[in-house]
C-alpha cells in the first residue's frame, strides 16, 4: 500500500497496554509512526496537528468512549478500529453501527498482532474507498456500471471467504483455550462441560471450514459434513475399536443458515449416542447417520444406535444433560421438527426434518 508506513493514533489510557502497543510496532517493518493518546481530547489535539491513516481507539477512556469517537467522526476521515477488554456480539454490532471499521478484543496475542491488524484494516479501508469511487463512476456509464458491479460481486465473494476463514480461526482458538482448561481439570465429571463445549465449537469451526472448501461459500453438502463431524467425534471419544459408524447419505445441499445448526445437531446426537448408548459393559455397537431428501423441499437428518435405549441410558447417566434440549432448540431454528424413537434395550433413533430452503 502506498500509505505504508502508516501514521497511527492509539487511544489507550492504560499505561501497560500502551507499552505493549509500542513494543509491537517497534519490532515491525515498515516502521509505522505511532502516537499514543491517553484520552479523546488528547487524540483530538494529535489529529488536529497531523492527520492519521488509522485510529485504534479503546472502548472506554476517562473522558469518553471509542464508540463516540467513531460515531462523531472525530477521526477526521481516518478509519477507526475499536479495542476492548471484554468482547461480545452486542458490542461488536454497536461498534460497526457507530462506523468502526473493525473490532478486536485485547489480549497479549492481539497486542502482538496489532501491526498485522493495522495493515489488514488499511487494506480493507482501501478496498472500501475503491468501491465508493467505483460507485460514483456507475453514474457516468451504464456499461461501466455493469463492469464495476461484477467486480464488486467478486470482491464480496472474497470477503465472504475471509469472514468464514476468520470465524473458523476464532473457533479453533476457543477450542484450544477449552483444551487448555481441560488439561488443568484432571479427571472426573468436572471435565464434561468443557469437553462438550469444545466439541460444539469444533462442530461450528468444521462447518465454516466446509463452507470455505465448498467453492460456493454459501452452501454445503450436508451428508459429507455429517460424515466428517461424526468421524471426528468418534476419534475424540477414543471409541474407534468398539463403535462402528454406518453412513446412509444422499445428496442434500443446504445453505449456511442451515449448515451451522445442522452441524451442531450432528455433534449432539452422535455424542449422546456414543456416551449413553454403550456403557463399558456393552459393545461393540453401530451408530448410523442418515441424510436424505424428505420430499417437498425438505430433508431428514437422523442418528440411530443399537445400544441400551434412551431410558436405560438416562438411568445410567443420570440424565441426558443439555444435548437433546439443545437439539430441540436447533430444530426450531431451522424450522424443523424433532422425532425420537426409543425402546429400552433396543436402541434410540432421533430424526430432525426441516425445509432445505
pLDDT at 311: 55
Where would I find the H helices in the chain? 15-26, 40-49, 66-71, 89-97, 108-112, 114-138, 142-185, 192-213, 222-236, 256-276, 309-317, 323-333
pLDDT at 315: 40
Q: Which CATH class is domain 159-355?
A: alpha beta
Order of strands, sheet of 337-342, starting from the edge strand that comes earlier in the sequence: 243-249, 285-295, 298-305, 348-355, 337-342
pLDDT at 29: 82
Residue 314 vs residue 354, higher pLDDT: 354
pLDDT at 80: 94
- pLDDT exceeds 60 at position 120: yes
pLDDT at 34: 93
Distance from C-alpha of 238 to C-alpha of 245, rounded to nearest angstrom:
13
Q: Specify the pTM.
A: 0.52
pLDDT at 319: 44
pLDDT at 187: 67
Give the pLDDT band (50/70/90) at residue 216: confident
Residue 110 vs residue 156, higher pLDDT: 110
pLDDT digits over 73-106, tens only?
999 989 999 998 887 888 888 888 888 998 898 8
Distance from C-alpha of 161 to C-alpha of 43, rounded to nearest angstrom:
35
Domain spans of the chain? 7-140, 159-355
Q: What is the mean pLDDT of residues 283-292?
A: 90
pLDDT digits over 20-70, tens only?
999 999 888 888 899 999 999 999 999 999 999 999 999 999 999 999 999
Task: Examine domains 7-140 and 159-355 and report if their fold is the same.
Answer: no
Q: Say which range, 69-78, 184-193, 262-271, 285-294, has the weakest mean pLDDT.
A: 184-193
pLDDT at 48: 94
Q: Which CATH class is domain 7-140?
A: alpha beta
Q: Say which range, 1-5, 136-140, 269-273, has the weakest mean pLDDT.
A: 1-5
Write down the mean pLDDT value for the chain.
Answer: 84
pLDDT digits over 307-330, tens only?
887 654 444 343 445 778 889 999
Residue 339 vs residue 146, higher pLDDT: 339
Amino acid at each position: 500500500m502506498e500509505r505504508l508506513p502508516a501514521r497511527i493514533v492509539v487511544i489507550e489510557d492504560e499505561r501497560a497496554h500502551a507499552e505493549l502497543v509500542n513494543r509491537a510496532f517497534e519490532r515491525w517493518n515498515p516502521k509505522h509512526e505511532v502516537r499514543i493518546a491517553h484520552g479523546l481530547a488528547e487524540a483530538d489535539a494529535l489529529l488536529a496537528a497531523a492527520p492519521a491513516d488509522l485510529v485504534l481507539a479503546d472502548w472506554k477512556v476517562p473522558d469518553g468512549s471509542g464508540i463516540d469517537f467513531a460515531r462523531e467522526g472525530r477521526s477526521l476521515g481516518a478509519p477507526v478500529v475499536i479495542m476492548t477488554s471484554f468482547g461480545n456480539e452486542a458490542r461488536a454490532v454497536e461498534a460497526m453501527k457507530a462506523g468502526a471499521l473493525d473490532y478486536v478484543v485485547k489480549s497479549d496475542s492481539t497486542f502482538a498482532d496489532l501491526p498485522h491488524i493495522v495493515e489488514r484494516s488499511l487494506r480493507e479501508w482501501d478496498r472500501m474507498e475503491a468501491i465508493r469511487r467505483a460507485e460514483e463512476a456507475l453514474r457516468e456509464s451504464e456499461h461501466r456500471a455493469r463492469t464495476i458491479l461484477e467486480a464488486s460481486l467478486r470482491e464480496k465473494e472474497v470477503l465472504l471467504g475471509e469472514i468464514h476463514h476468520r470465524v473458523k480461526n476464532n473457533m479453533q482458538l476457543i477450542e484450544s483455550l477449552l483444551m487448555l482448561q481441560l488439561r488443568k481439570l484432571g479427571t472426573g465429571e468436572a471435565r464434561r462441560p468443557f469437553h462438550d463445549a469444545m466439541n460444539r465449537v469444533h462442530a461450528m469451526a468444521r462447518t465454516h471450514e466446509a463452507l470455505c472448501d465448498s467453492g460456493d461459500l454459501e452452501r454445503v453438502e450436508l451428508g459429507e459434513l455429517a460424515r466428517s463431524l461424526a468421524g471426528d467425534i468418534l476419534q475424540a471419544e477414543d471409541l474407534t475399536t468398539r463403535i462402528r459408524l454406518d453412513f446412509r447419505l444422499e445428496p442434500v445441499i443446504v445453505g449456511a443458515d442451515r449448515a451451522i445448526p445442522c452441524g451442531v445437531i450432528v455433534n449432539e446426537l452422535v455424542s449422546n449416542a456414543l456416551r449413553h448408548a454403550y456403557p463399558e459393559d456393552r459393545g461393540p455397537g453401530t451408530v448410523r447417520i442418515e441424510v436424505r431428501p424428505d420430499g417437498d423441499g425438505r430433508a431428514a437428518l437422523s442418528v440411530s444406535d443399537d445400544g441400551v435405549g434412551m431410558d436405560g441410558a438416562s438411568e445410567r447417566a443420570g440424565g441426558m444433560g443439555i444435548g437433546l434440549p439443545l437439539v430441540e432448540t436447533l430444530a426450531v431454528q431451522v424450522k424443523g421438527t424433532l422425532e425420537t424413537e426409543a425402546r429400552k434395550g433396543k436402541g434410540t433413533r432421533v430424526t430432525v426434518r426441516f425445509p432445505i430452503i
